Structure 1
Amino acid sequence: MHVLILGGTTEARRLAENLAAGTRPDLRVTNSLAGRVGAPRLPPGEVRVGGFGGAEGLARWLREHRVDVFVDATHPFAGTVSFNAARAAAVTGVPLLALRRPGWAPVEGDVWHETGSLEEAAGLLPSLGRRVFLTTGRLGLAAFAALEDLWFLVRSVDPPGAPAPARMEVLLDRGPFTLQGERELLLRHAIDVVVTKDSGGRATAPKLTAAREAGLPVVVVRRPPVPAGVPVVTDPGAAVDWITERLRPGTSPARTEP
């Protein structure tokens, strides 16, 4: 039985670990990584790196490699690959599940400004502060490049490329981050506004607590929706249950021929 995991996230790695620790020697697991991170943490099982060539390329890969079920466990903001996966599932009949960590929710004391895009976030910043802690990753910095009067501390795993803000300091780091570390970072750089995507999870959440304690505004970019019709679970254990149910004896996942 062949399971494909579209991964690159902590949840995807934990799903692969859970499947590897199972009692099904007949289970083959392939992890697909986009290749955008220079030194990814590799999960157990087979690993492929790179794109598929859109929905058609993914559908072809599912057929050629006889995939029985697949899981979209990509980053909540990896919108294109999620919609390609939904289209490939519709074309091939291979069952698809979305594994998404829960999003963040504001609590008492938070000063959040929610937006639908990085561009909207950039439009809000001049009215909120002058020294920005930008934690949206190395991609998408072009949305902030025209804000010449603002200073940015950009944190990412790999170095960002152009276009990017002219007044910028880059901090290369990978979570999980600590609350004390985030407190010290905000203070050391005199940050007065934070920008983040609603990525969810605990690894990067301490910045929200640190901002709340300091009374700082936080611009939160809402995550895109999961494609319509794709079932969603929020933890790897539930994904294992879903996979097990579809691969139980006597069940033959639908698959169309090329």
Structure 2
Amino acid sequence: MPAVVFFIVFAYIPMGGLVIAFKDYNLFRGLWGSDWAGLANFREMFSIPEFFRITRNTLLLNLLGLLVCFPAPILLALMLNEVRSRYLKKISQSMLYLPHFMSWIVLGGIVYAVLSPKYGVVNQILRWLGLKEIYFMADQTWWVITYTLSAVWQSAGWGTIIYLAAITAIDPALYEAASIDGAGRIRKIASVTLPSIMPTIVILFILAVGHMVSIGIEQPLALANSVVSDVSEVISTYVYRVGIKQGEFGLTTAVGMVQSVINLCLVVAANHFAKRAGGEGLW
């Protein structure tokens, strides 16, 4: 019941606010006192030049996250599972979990400090090797790379929890049978561990695909700057900048509604293809 109440209060009831997308919303007249605008907000959304740029940036960063961030917890869980020292394993897990509990403002400050052209340790090492310093946070290509790798750093450790739980549930007799057949560690991983946790991987992959046009505001806001705005401006930061700071509530609600509809279609499509491929879906 607590879970049901949570989703009713924080997920289903707020859906009523989507009516703002069809209104010329006035903060002082309220939701029902504002005039209806029909599809005007949607037409305006597709007419602004920034819309396709921020959509492109959102898809690009999420695609890179899917290609790099999604496999990272799986590989990390497989590696941790092979650690035989319980003490070392617990310390490693604790250190890997730590970035997840830190604010992106703090993590962003660490990233800027480490990659600083003048004082950052990375550029100091590059100069020590006789190489030229790199302006990581001022170059568009390096910013995208930094964004992706910092997301791995922040989320990979926490993501291993689900996969380690799935690995723990594997029947030890399967590993014993593989050992009798002469399988080594790599062979056991390929023939026992990965097939056993594949349903978990498929479900999490479907959920990840369902967020392809969604992106949290914390990381882009913490790492972005005006120099790289052409690649750092995403839907969530646009909604914050235009909707909250400029008061364009109807327009940004329309953007969020289109975003949610696309996410829903992606989840349904990913679930369909997963089941057609012989795997298990969400439903």
Per the normalisation by structure 2, the TM-score is: 0.23
Higher helix share: 2
Which protein has the larger Cα radius of gyration, Structure 1 or Structure 2? 2
Higher strand share: 1
Tell which has more relative contact order, 1 or 2 (C-alpha 8 A, sep 6+).
2
Per the normalisation by structure 1, the TM-score is: 0.25
